Amino acid sequence: MKTLIVVSHPTLDQSQTQQFLKASAATLADATWHHLDTSMPFDASKEQALVRAADRIIFQFPLYWYAAPASLYQWLDEVWVRSVVYDARGGLLTGKSLGLVVNLGQPARGYQVGGAEGVSLSELFSPFAALARKTGLRMLAPLVIDQFSYQDEATHQKLLVAYQQYLTLAHPAKLSEQADWWLDQLADLADLGDQAELVGQTLATRQETLMHLQETINELKEGEED
Amino acid sequence: MKTLIVVSHPTLDQSQTQQFLKASAATLADATWHHLDTSMPFDASKEQALVRAADRIIFQFPLYWYAAPASLYQWLDEVWVRSVVYDARGGLLTGKSLGLVVNLGQPARGYQVGGAEGVSLSELFSPFAALARKTGLRMLAPLVIDQFSYQDEATHQKLLVAYQQYLTLAHPAKLSEQADWWLDQLADLADLGDQAELVGQTLATRQETLMHLQETINELKEGEED
């Protein structure tokens, strides 16, 4: 799967979060890092070609005043023109998927009724959901990163994994795809030798057991519904 | 009341709606028309002075991809900086009011569950509501203009009135303030002579009757609640 990471950030070099994400994506052959603020003025047909070549499009940005920075809107207004997006033969975007990777300066728990922000992220992201609906994009649940600089090393490691999975898996929230991803990672670590093979086999066995259990649960559930 | 009309539109001259609104605001001494796209790059302190001088701030824009055009976000990011907005002595915006004047290319009725757009304007505008909440602005219900160029002359006249009231009344949705606005308009038309005076008196009498009726209804309602 080819992924286009559309990054909107006016001061990218100063963002720890974005530098971490950039390094995390750098090892992925099929992920293209595309920073909007340094690609202006936009060449619409060149930008459209980038979108056309991708299977997944990521809008990646810090939340400024409850929305994305200006460059994302400018890019959408100039590049996602109707004549291209609504193509008679199926549209530029139909069948692709859209992900949001959003970092917050405030704690994520503040974004709910009664929270410090008083509004949910789902409400704030509704313009992107409407855009996806209109253009035939399948939307993924957002990957939200809050207060990156306060997070410890273990949390950063988990973020690296979650981000790479978000960029590459058809359904990043599915446990079975996540497990397969780990198996692939281990298979790649050939230089670790016997130990990696052993860990890999154990994981594969556990994954198989997990799938069997899930099937059993599904059968039981079907029984309940009869 | 001093009103700052913050207009975000990349092709203002080509917009019939915006030209109509501009002409409608031109007769109001206390309304300042401020077009963002021709004020870039922004001089932050100059822009902040404009905001500081206003009692009401209007965000006026066409809905592009379910959000405002880029210039509004750029202005917010560069001008509404935290050190100014969250002033220790009360903040730049506390006590002011915020209005949205939004024009749509699609019919407004499409913006609801089951409608062509599948999402409400209230959801789409939630970032602005969150911004108002955070900065101590009182938010007005948006003034929405859909498909201006398909509207007839009578609808345009009504829009002119609604827009002028939106820019100048403390509570544009209140019938009593709207009635007072009409009386003020008639008082200004001194050159119409006796006829204007007669219409004015009739309106004033009706307005008085209306207020009495409303008081009676309120009293009845209070009785119900006992």
Identify the band that residue B91 occupies on the pLDDT scale cut at 50, 70 and 90.
confident
User: What totals of helices (H) and strands (E) does chain A contain, helices first?
Assistant: 9, 6
Per residue, the 3-state secondary structure of A87-109, as one string, reads CCCCCCCCCCEEEEEEEECCCHH
Residue A191: what pLDDT? Answer: 60
DSSP A65: T
**Distance separating alpha carbons of residues B172 and B149, to the nearest angstrom:** 24
Nearest to B1 by CA among B44, B49, B39, B54: B54
Residue B95: what pLDDT? Answer: 86
> What value does the mean pLDDT take over residues B36-43?
97
**Distance separating alpha carbons of residues A166 and A170, to the nearest angstrom:** 8
CA distances B102 to A63, A141, A186, B30, B132, Å, are: 23, 29, 53, 21, 17
Residue A110: what pLDDT? Answer: 97
Answer yes or no: are the C-beta atoms of B41 and B69 closer than 8 Å: no
B123 Cβ under 8 Å from any chain A Cβ = yes
- Count CB pairs under 8 A between chains A and B: 78
Nearest to B99 by CA among B151, B170, B155, B29: B170
CA distance B195 to chain A (A): 51
Residue B70 to residue A66, Cβ atoms within 8 A? no
Identify the band that residue B191 occupies on the pLDDT scale cut at 50, 70 and 90.
low
**Distance separating alpha carbons of residues A206 and A122, to the nearest angstrom:** 35
Residue B216: what pLDDT? Answer: 78
Tokens linked to B213: 């009726």
Residue A127 to residue B130, Cβ atoms within 8 A? no
Helix, strand or coil, per DSSP, at residue A125: coil
**Distance separating alpha carbons of residues A103 and A147, to the nearest angstrom:** 7
Identify the band that residue B205 occupies on the pLDDT scale cut at 50, 70 and 90.
confident
Q: What ipTM was reported for this prediction? A: 0.86
> pLDDT by residue (tens digit) across A114-135?
999 999 999 999 999 999 999 9
